[in-house]
Amino acid sequence: MQLHGLHVLVTGGASGLGAATAERLAGAGARVTIADLNEGAGEELAARIGGQFVRTDVTDPAQCAAAVTKAAAKGGLHVLVCCAGIVLAERILGRDGVHDPVRFKRVIEVNLIGTFHMMLYAAQMMSQNQPNSEGERGVIINTASIAAFEGQIGQVAYAASKAGVVGMTLPAARELARFGIRVMTIAPGIFDTAMMASLPAAARESLGAQVPFPSRLGRPAEYAALVQHIIENPMLNGEVIRLDGAIRMAPK
C-alpha cells in the first residue's frame, strides 16, 4: 500500500515508538489518528502532524471500537499500528512474596488483550474497504518484544504478554487473508524510549553496548521506518521481524 491518503490509527501514539510512527506516516501523506491515554501529549502531536486524537484505553472494547470508528469516519481505515503497552519487573518468588496476580493480569490485559481488541475492530472496518490493485484492504502491525523469545528474570508477565502477540500473528494473517488484510508483528530490542530516558547515562550506555551492531539503543525513528516498509511491501505477511541489532538477551 502507498501511504499517501491512507487512514492510519496508531495506539500508544502519544510517545515513544508510537509517536515516531505517527510522525513518519503523516510525513508520508497518511491521515493519522492517535489513540492514547495521554491527552496532553496526544493532542499536541496530533495538532503538529495534522492528525486527530482520541483518548483510548485499549483494555476497554467499547473505547477501542470508538477509536476505530473515529479513525475511519472520513474514508475508512487502512492501517492499524499497535504500540500501546506497559512494562513490569517482578519475580515469581520475590523478597516480599509471590508475584502479584493482579499486576500479572494487568500486563496481559493491556499488552495482549488490548492488541486483540484493536485488531478485532480494525479488521472489521478494513474488510469494508475497496481492495487496491494488489487486492489489499488493510495492514495491521502489532508490537511484541524480544522478551517474547528471551524473557529475562523478572519479566514473566511482560514476556508472556508479548509472546501472546507473537503467537497471534500467523493465525490472524491466515484468517484475514481472504479479506486482503495483512498482519505483521515487530519485536523491538532495546530502544531509546521514555522508559530508557529515566535511566542514568552510564546505564543507558551499558545497555547499548550489549547490542552487537550498531552498539547503541535503537531509535524510535528506526521502528517507524520499518512500519512504513511493511505497509508498502505487500509480500510481508504473517511474520515477526526482530528489530534488535542482533542482541540476544541474557538471563538477567
- Give the cell for residue 127: 474488510
Q: Active site residue: 104, 121, 158, 179, which one? A: 158
Q: Give me the residues paired with residue 140 across strands.
A: 80, 183
- Cβ atoms of residues 13 and 38 within 8 Å: no
SS3 content of the chain, % helix, strand, coil (to 5): 45, 15, 35
Q: At what angle do helices 16-27 and 39-49 cross, to 10 degrees?
A: 20
Question: Peptide bond before 188: cis, by omega within 30 degrees of 0?
Answer: no
CB 8 within 8 A of CB 34: no
C-alpha–C-alpha distance, residues 67 and 6, integer Å: 16
Number of alpha carbons in the 13 Å side-chain half-sphere of residue 190? 27
121 is catalytic: no
| Catalytic residue annotation | 158
